[in-house]
Amino acid sequence: MSQCMDVVEAKGVCKDREVKKVSEDGLTLKRFYRKTNALYSDGKYEITLDQRKLKTPYGNLFVVESEPLALAVAAEWDAQKTHIKQSSMHLSALCSTAIDNPNHLNKFDLVNHILSFLDTDTVLFHSYTWLHLRRGGETNASHTVITSCLVHRCRFTSKLFLQQIDTVEYE
């Protein structure tokens, strides 16, 4: 049983609950809470399970800045019936990874990694509603139109523009 307790403590869930093997994709935990909630505190939203604050797998407090995101995460936890199936809680996993930052990436590293795909990715638009994107949009990017698809050839200015966008802090 101590091995199971180590797993539960590492997951940052609840310490004195029973864990049992259900399949080869991992462990499952019995649902130990009755009510989920998203509470506003100090300009951020916290998720609670029976008045206890949710923590990430690394033990950090689970806080997000967006109310809709907090409500969606709380709904994911509330949707768990008799057992907690972590593989079905995609938003919780994504938020936990962003909060914990297990690879210790800063904003510069993330932006450069994403921009490395910009030169080789192809975007196809088959609708005239996307015509403004073909004309360059705000980035003044160069585009070549071939019949019904768009081949994007990114210039240095496009990358520079995208690197300057600062809508979310990652640090």
Q: pTM higher than 0.85 for the full model?
A: no
| Residue 171 resides in a domain | no
Given the structure tokens 């972590």, which residue do they identify? 86
CA atoms of 38 and 22, how far apart (whole Å): 29
Q: What percent of the chain has pLDDT over 70?
A: 58
CA separation, residue 124 to residues 134, 145, 159 (Å): 10, 10, 19
Q: Where are the alpha helices (DSSP H) in the chain?
A: 2-11, 67-78, 90-100, 107-115, 131-134, 156-164
CA 10, 14, 18, 19 torsion: positive or negative? negative
Are 50 and 113 within one domain?
no
Extract the tokens encoding 115. Answer: 């921009």
Are 96 and 130 within one domain?
no
Run of H or E residues at 155:
none
* Mean pLDDT, range 5-16, rounded to an integer: 41
Are 96 and 113 within one domain?
no
Are 92 and 43 within one domain?
yes
Domain at 34, CATH number: 3.30.2180.10
At residue 128, does pLDDT exceed 50?
A: yes
Are 157 and 92 within one domain?
no
Residue 137 region, left (φ>0) first, then alpha (ψ -120 to 50), else beta?
left
Tens-place pLDDT, residues 81-117? 999 999 999 999 999 999 999 999 988 888 888 888 8
CA atoms of 117 and 112, how far apart (whole Å): 9
Region of poorest pLDDT, from 74-88, 115-129, 153-167: 153-167
DSSP state of 49: E
Inter-residue contact 78 to 50 (CB < 8 Å): no
Which of 67, 46, 62, 48 minimizes the C-alpha distance to 97? 62
Are 116 and 88 within one domain?
no
Angle formed at CA 26 by CA 25 and CA 28, multiple of 5 degrees: 125
Residue 119 has a pLDDT of: 75
* Mean pLDDT, range 127-150, rounded to an integer: 58
Domain extent at residue 133: 107-164
Are 116 and 57 within one domain?
no
Are 96 and 111 within one domain?
no
| Residue 73 resides in a domain | yes
Of the three residues 54, 75, 100, the one that is the final residue of a domain is 100
Amino acid identity of residue 147, one-letter, is T
Are 84 and 140 within one domain?
no
Number of domains in the chain: 2
Are 47 and 96 within one domain?
yes
Residue 43 has a pLDDT of: 95
